[in-house]
Amino acid sequence: MAHGDGAGEIPASHQMLESLPVPLVQREPEERRLSTFEQVITTNAPILESLLLQIPTDSIIKLYHSSSYLRTFLRSYPTAWMSLSFRLPLPSGTLPNPSNPGSNLPESVPARQSRPYALDMFLMNVVVPFSACLKSIELDNTAISGENLISTVLHARRETLVHLSIRGCKNVSLKYHIVPFLTMFALQCDIDVGSNSSSPGMKRLALKSLYAYRCRHHRRRPYLSSSLLRKDADAESTHELVNVCHKLGIWTDTAWCTTPAGRCARRAAYVKSRFPQGVAAPEVWVVFDRLWRSRNWIGPIDSTTNSTGICDAKLWETRETGCYGEALGTGDSNDWGEGKMTPAHLRRSHTHFVDGIRCDNCLDDITERCEHCSVLMHCVGCRKTLCASCAHERPYLHKCASSSFSSGNNQPAPDSFWWAPGATHSPGSMQDPVAFPVGTTPPQGTGGMDPPPILNFHWCCTKPDFSGGGGISIGSQNREVDQVRAVPLPRGQGWENLEYTVSGWSKTFPTYAYGDPSKPDYSLETGHLAMMKWLLGPPNRQVSPCPRNLCQGCYDSPQWKVHCRSCSKSLCIEHDLRGLRLRICGYRDLESEKQNIQHRLALHLAESLASGQGPPHDLPFRSQQPLDPMNMSIIDDSRQDILVERNIVSFLNHPSRSFVAPTPDPSCPPSSSSSTFFDSPTLEPLKWQGCQSFFCPPESDPFTGISDPRISIRDPRPRCPSNLLECNGCKVYVCVECIDAHPPCKCSYCSEHYMCPNCVADKRDTMCHRRQEEALRDRQWREQLQAIEASLLLKLADEAAEYVGEFFDRIEPRSPPPSRSMVPVDPGLADQIADPFREDHAAAEASFSHLEPDDMEWLTEDSQ
């Protein structure tokens, strides 16, 4: 269960209410003596008071059902029913439940709802008659009826009830139950203020806090001022609730966002989706839940939260004592929290995020704003919080002169913007003022306004889902998601991300990985492997799927990203690299590389233990020196920061020998290079290592066409068409630049099965047919040369014979040849007589038809 909105265990109070709304009392013998427990709690008021404050409501009901004596005693005891909680978790399929992964609840806990009218009967027959001083009651997500709530609880206990929580009660309506009840007291308050006297017959309303978020007829989306004129709209009842609660001095969990104009993301999105360009900007009211951080949940979600001692952003868990969201404790200094009688909005776990928040840039006070504005203007990296003016590319002129903005309009009353302290005009207006020189008038058609500015915050790679109801779906509930949602968190208290606090994560990198820190050698394989191991993370590290919102400074810093060589886009180290989705030239799939590192760690640890040595320090390399804590303390943080930053840059820019070895062949001898994996670099010949450039992860498998399941659905980044070939031997990726630098073999096998330079240069590989095909080509060339030489000799002999025949014809004339008309001659025979070497020429041309121009040039040179 997260923040009390997921499925959880049903308290015992509801299980009893569903079975027996009014308990049956059995008569016990009069001679029965009181037990020791009954004597102690009924005769010692301090013990009973402390017990009632430290046990939940279901335990009080169990105590009430334990015996007839305690039942009679608790009916007459005034403070037994002072604070009651019948809350149930919100049933929702989108929130964590026992069937969803990542939930900390046992699978046997069912998701149930309270039976209708069971709680109504219990309140009317038990609670109200016996609770003369009821001060706090919580009915979240129950089936309480609105009519019974107004007529039974609020009407009977209006002088004592201080806190009421009806969040998620679908049978309680703001329009027909809550607002009319409060309006009656608001009208009476106006009459008393006008007459300066109180009505003698009117009873005082003691209510000081009302939690009504997600009730019936409760508007959770932004709405226009024109929506308030429609009585059938939920915006009217929500607007009236905020106004009437302010008039009566009641704190409510529904408020309006104070971020001005289109600087509120929810307001800008609402106007953009409903009004085309050129339409006058309306006034938009953005409502939000003021308890959105904790969801009105107090105490840990399980019993192991406080015992672990982990201090995270969920202060309502680690610093509060509660049971299923109900606060417990007396409020003393020894307790966790302010006690059972303090509501959620007055606790330090809530005011820690609301009171005293200042902009880290201009030091102005930041008033309470909606969940979108709080998350979007808070950096997860450096934990910097900016106001709506400093978070955008253009400052907001909230202190501008009235003459340059109002254009002669009447200024509003000082108390008209009580919900936005310091505002000179309504923050709900979409108009963003622009500064103009004194004495000048705004251009025609602009009205002194400008298009909405651009937010100077960026998401690292993935983006959350922003719902229209005001919530942010960042991911499955975990500690990283809670730290993103719990904003603003202060700076300098350990909430910063380690990747942006270089002095923090640099201490996890081995000091002597690159040799002497004063003169590092970036060609060492130990440093290269240590950097790769640090980038991929430890073996048991779970990559956080939670997106990170970064300010402009953190987004421009190199700690969190690498760049694709093809498109130069930023790739996140946490999600893309440590999520094992990127491709690196010269390396196999990163998941295989990480498994290989873990395998080598296990083997080296076993060898060290077998030899009687102690466990190695962090890295399985024989050449690494042990890390001395004294030397670590000598190196100051600034020097260590510079060293590690230089390590990363050198790893990305300077090639070093890859630790990827080819897949071992069973026919290879044990002394092959694949068996000396991770040995000393001097014992192995230098191998091709690739350019070690990073490339975007593919949208789908290039061979199967199936989408990569490791790529998040919420990742909207377009992928560049970077084509990397995968070696069929060692399975490493090779980029286009390395392919051009090391052209692959053109044999029949390698043209269909790509081999990297390491596998091609391996003499033990017998799959390449290059040598056989080259020998066959040489033999064919020799045969063709012989045929050409024979044809040339025959042609020379023919020319010599023709010359000799002409010579003898001139010396001794012969008889004329017979007439063509007298002797029939076959046409083919005639052509053969005209060219007796035609067949030899045709055979020579056929033999040279498949040769390339380069081969013909080489052949011509050899013939010459």
Are the CB atoms for 344 and 291 separated by under 8 Å?
A: yes
Q: What confidence score (pLDDT) does residue 763 get? A: 52
Instruction: Give per-residue pLDDT as tens, 707-721.
Output: 444 444 456 667 777
Q: What is the pTM of this model?
A: 0.73
Lowest mean pLDDT among 20-24, 554-558, 746-750, 858-862: 20-24
Is 345 a residue whose pLDDT tops 80?
yes
pLDDT at 694 over 70: yes
Host H or E run for residue 307:
helix 305-308
Higher pLDDT, 793 or 848: 793
**Distance (Å, whole) CA 188 – CA 349:** 36
pLDDT confidence band for 384 (50 / 70 / 90)? very high
Mean per-residue pLDDT, 203-217:
92
**Beta strand spans in 200-294 (E):** 209-211, 223-224, 251-252, 254-256, 284-285, 287-289
Domain spans of the chain, in order of start:
502-664+677-711, 832-864
Is the pLDDT at 638 greater than 80? The verdict is no
Q: Report the DSSP pairing between strands 209-211 and 251-252.
A: parallel
- The band of 98, judged by pLDDT with boundaries at 50, 70 and 90, is very low
Mean per-residue pLDDT, 153-182: 94
pLDDT digits (tens, 9 = 90+) for 610-621: 776 655 544 433
656-693 pLDDT, tens digit per residue, is: 434 333 333 333 333 322 222 233 333 345 678 788 88
pLDDT winner (highest mean) among 286-290, 410-414, 504-508: 286-290
Mean pLDDT of the 168-175 span: 94
Q: Is 448 left (phi over 0), alpha (psi -120 to 50) or beta?
A: left
Question: What is residue 291's predicted lDDT score, i.e. its pLDDT?
Answer: 94
Token representation of residue 199: 């009505």
Residue 82 — very low, low, confident or very high, per pLDDT cuts 50/70/90? very high
**If pLDDT is split at 50, 70 and 90, which confidence band does 147 have?**
very high
pLDDT of residue 683: 38
Q: What CA–CA distance (Å, rounded) separates 118 from 21?
A: 6
Distances (CA, A) of 271 to 429, 430, 528: 11, 8, 52
Q: What pLDDT is attached to residue 863?
A: 46
pLDDT band at 481 (very low <50, low <70, confident <90, very high): confident
Which of 150-154, 435-439, 530-534, 567-571 is predicted least confidently?
435-439
Which band of pLDDT confidence, cut at 50, 70 and 90, is reported for residue 403? Answer: very low
Place of tokens 């001060």: 135
Q: Is the pLDDT of residue 178 over 70?
A: yes
Higher pLDDT: 318 or 842? It is 318
Q: Which among 98-112, 331-345, 749-763 has the top mean pLDDT?
A: 331-345
- Per DSSP, the three-state class of 53 is helix
> In the chain, pLDDT over 90 holds for what percent of residues?
23
pLDDT of the residue at 110: 45
Percent of the chain's residues with pLDDT above 70: 66
Chain mean pLDDT for the chain: 74
106-139 pLDDT per residue, tens: 443 444 556 777 888 888 888 888 888 899 999 9
Q: What is the structure's pLDDT at 632?
A: 33
Q: What is the mean pLDDT of residues 190-200?
A: 66
pLDDT (0 to 100) of residue 617? 46
**pLDDT classification of 195: cutoffs 50, 70, 90:** low
Least confident of 64-73, 122-131, 472-481, 830-839: 830-839
Q: Are strands 284-285 and 223-224 parallel, antiparallel or unpaired?
A: antiparallel
739, HSE (Cβ side, Cα atoms, 13 Å)? 16
Q: pLDDT of 809-821, one tens digit each?
A: 878 766 665 554 5
Whether 166 has a pLDDT exceeding 80, the answer reads: yes
| Range of weakest confidence among 418-427, 507-516, 729-738, 843-852 | 843-852
Q: Output the pLDDT for position 104.
A: 41
Q: What is the pLDDT of residue 30?
A: 57
Residue 392: φ, ψ to 5°: -115, 170
